[in-house]
C-alpha cells in the first residue's frame, strides 16, 4: 500500500519529463526519437564525405520537436518516421530526414538569423529551421502545395515562417539578404540571384545536377569580402527545380 505511491509518483515524473519534447497526445514521440538515433548513425557513416562527425546538437533537437507525421498524407503517417523521402502529391516529395538534418547542419544555423527556402513542399524543412529560432521565408512553385503548406504551418503555430507561392529562381528580394539559403529541388546550375541574396558570411545549400539523375549537394559560402566558394558534399537525388516560364 505504501509502496504504490512512490511508484505512481515516479511514473508521473517520467511522463512529465518525456512530455517536454512533444505535444500532448503525440503517439509518435518514441518513433521520432528512434529516427534521431538512426540519423546519428548515418551521420557517423557519412562523416568521411560530409566532413562532419556529429551535427550541431540543436539540429537534431529541433527535428525531434517537429511532428513529421503532420507533414505527410494521412495514409503515409505510419511511415512518417522511417528515414526516407515520402510522396506529398503533385509528383513531389518530403525529403529524407537524414538529408534534412545534413542540409540544416551545413547551414550552421543560429537563432535570430534569416533563412530563405526554395521548395516549401510540405513545409517540414521550414518548420525545422523555425524550431532553430530562425526567421524563415519559403517559396513553392506549385500553388496547391504552397497553400496547403502555408495553412499547415499556421495551424501548427510556426509564426516565424512566411510562405508564398512563386518561382524561387529570383529569390525574395524584399527580405534579402539572407544568412542561409536552402534549395530543396535539383537545379542544373546555381541561380545567380540566390547567390546575390546571400549575406557576407552566409551559406547556401543546393542540389546541383541533371534532372532525374544523381546530383551533388553543393555548399556555397560567401566570405566577409563577398567572395564565393563552392564545395561538393555528397551525391543526392532530388525532384527537379522547375521554372514558371
Ligand atoms: N522542403 C520540402 C521538400 C520539397 S520537394 C519539404 O520539407 O517537404 C521540392 C519542392 O520544390 C517541390 O514541392 C517543388 O514543387 C518545389 N520547386 C521546384 N522548383 C521550384 C522553384 N523554381 N521555386 C519554388 N519551388 C520549387
Residues 113-149 pLDDT 10s: 999 999 999 999 999 999 999 999 999 999 999 999 9
Q: Find the helix packing angle between 57-65 and 29-45, rounded to 10°.
A: 150
CATH of the domain at 145: 3.40.50.150
Pocket lined around ligand 1, Cβ cut-off 6 Å: 92-95, 118-119, 121-122, 124-125, 139-142, 145, 167-169, 184-185, 239, 241-243
Identify which has the larger pLDDT, 10 or 101.
Answer: 101
In the structure, what pLDDT confidence band is assigned to residue 17 with cuts at 50, 70 and 90?
very low
Residues 152-186 pLDDT 10s: 999 999 999 999 999 999 999 999 999 999 999 99
Backbone CA torsion sign across 171, 172, 177, 178? negative
What pTM value is reported for the model?
A: 0.91
Residues 27-53 pLDDT 10s: 899 999 999 999 999 999 999 999 999
In the structure, what pLDDT confidence band is assigned to residue 23 with cuts at 50, 70 and 90?
low
CA of 225 to the centre of ligand 1 (A): 31
4 located within any domain: no
Q: What is the DSSP string of the chain?
A: -TTHHHHHHHHHHHHHHHHTTS-TT-TTHHHHHHHHHHHHHHHHHTHHHHS-SS--HHHHHHHHHS-GGGGS-GGGGGGTTSSS-EEEETTEEEPPHHHHHHHHHHT---TT-EEEEE--TTSHHHHHHHHTT-EEEEEESSHHHHHHHHHHHHHTT-TTEEEEES-GGG--GGG--EEEEEE-SBBSS--HHHHHTEEEEEEEEEEES-TTS-EEEEEEEE-TTS-EEEEEEEEE--PBP----
2 located within any domain: no
Which residues lie closer than 8 Å to 90 by C-beta, 6 or more apart? 142, 144, 145
CA of 184 to the centre of ligand 1 (A): 6
Nearest to 164 by CA among 198, 111, 123, 107: 123
204 located within any domain: yes
CA of 183 to the centre of ligand 1 (A): 8
Closest atom of ligand 1 to 244 CA is 22
Domain, as residue range, for 115: 13-237
61 located within any domain: yes
Catalytic residue list contains 151: no
- Asked if the model's pLDDT at residue 225 lies above 90, the reply is yes
6 located within any domain: no
160 located within any domain: yes
Q: Region 9-22: what's the mean pLDDT?
A: 39
242 located within any domain: no
Give how many domains the chain has, as a whole number. 1
**Ligand 1 atom 11, closest CA:** 119
5 located within any domain: no
Residues 63-89 pLDDT 10s: 999 999 999 999 999 999 999 999 999
Set 82, 95, 148, 237: catalytic member? 95
Amino acid at each position: 500500500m505504501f509502496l504504490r505511491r512512490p511508484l505512481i509518483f515516479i511514473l508521473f515524473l517520467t511522463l512529465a519529463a518525456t512530455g517536454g519534447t512533444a505535444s500532448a497526445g503525440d503517439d509518435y514521440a518514441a518513433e521520432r526519437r528512434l529516427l534521431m538515433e538512426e540519423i546519428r548513425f548515418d551521420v557517423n557513416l557519412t562523416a568521411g564525405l560530409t566532413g562532419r562527425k556529429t551535427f550541431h546538437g540543436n539540429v537534431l533537437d529541433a527535428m525531434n520537436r517537429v511532428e513529421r507525421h503532420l507533414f505527410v498524407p494521412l495514409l503515409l503517417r505510419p511511415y512518417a518516421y522511417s528515414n526516407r523521402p515520402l510522396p506529398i502529391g503533385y509528383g513531389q516529395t518530403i525529403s529524407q530526414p537524414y538529408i534534412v538534418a545534413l542540409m540544416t547542419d551545413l547551414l550552421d544555423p543560429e537563432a535570430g538569423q534569416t533563412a530563405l527556402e526554395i521548395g516549401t513542399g510540405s513545409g517540414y524543412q521550414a518548420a525545422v529551421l523555425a524550431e532553430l529560432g530562425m526567421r524563415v521565408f519559403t517559396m513553392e512553385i506549385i500553388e496547391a502545395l504552397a497553400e496547403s503548406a502555408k495553412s499547415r504551418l499556421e495551424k501548427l503555430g510556426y509564426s516565424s515562417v512566411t510562405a508564398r507561392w512563386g518561382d524561387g529562381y529570383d529569390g525574395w528580394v524584399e527580405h534579402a539578404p539572407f544568412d542561409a539559403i536552402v534549395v530543396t529541388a535539383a537545379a542544373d546550375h546555381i541561380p545567380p540571384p540566390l547567390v546575390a541574396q546571400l549575406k557576407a558570411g552566409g551559406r547556401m545549400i543546393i542540389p546541383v545536377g541533371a534532372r532525374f539523375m544523381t546530383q551533388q549537394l553543393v555548399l556555397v559560402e560567401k566570405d566577409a569580402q563577398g567572395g564565393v566558394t563552392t564545395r561538393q558534399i555528397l551525391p543526392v537525388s532530388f525532384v527537379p527545380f522547375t521554372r514558371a516560364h
